[in-house]
Amino acid sequence: MAVSDGGRSRDESNEAMCPHRLVLEHVTSRWGVLVLVQLLDRPHRFSELRRAIGGVSEKMLAQTLQTLERDGMVHREAHPVIPPRVDYSLTGLGREAAEQVRDLALWTEKRMADVLAARQAYDGARRAQDEARTP
């Protein structure tokens, strides 16, 4: 993968999974984006986060939070109370990443009509090609 940063470019195509690609995968994964964006508002407990995101299993949410914590994006704070309470919040690094993916999510929402129109045009052209090839 060629990465450009301020005019400099470096080729990392011979590395199977370079570190920045792995972090990019974590941050932009289906659940990673939703966790980061949700935590922008405020810290959440696990169950709050799961309800707010919706559709995520406990296992996937736990894995996503653990991965983002390992990458330095999410802070996990366990409170010594009964019943146990754990809060998740963004670190400075996580807040920066969350703002970036939120902007991308907002852009996709804003441009969805254009995407749908492009899909419709593409599908129509493909159908026309398929029909033209059929004897």
Residues 6 or more apart from 40 whose CB is under 8 A from it?
90, 95, 98, 99, 102
Rounded to an integer, the average pLDDT of 21-30 is 92
pLDDT tens digits, one per residue of 65-100: 999 999 999 999 999 999 889 999 999 999 999 999
Strand-pairing partners, residue 74, are 90
CATH class of segment(s) 2-133: mainly alpha
Q: How confident is the model at residue 5 (pLDDT cuts 50, 70, 90)?
A: low
Give the SS3 label for residue 121.
Answer: helix
pLDDT tens digits, one per residue of 46-66: 999 999 999 999 999 999 999
- Locate the domains of the chain by residue range: 2-133
pTM: 0.77
- The runs of H, that is alpha helices, within 1-135 are 19-28, 30-41, 46-53, 58-70, 92-110, 112-133
Give the SS3 label for residue 10.
Answer: strand
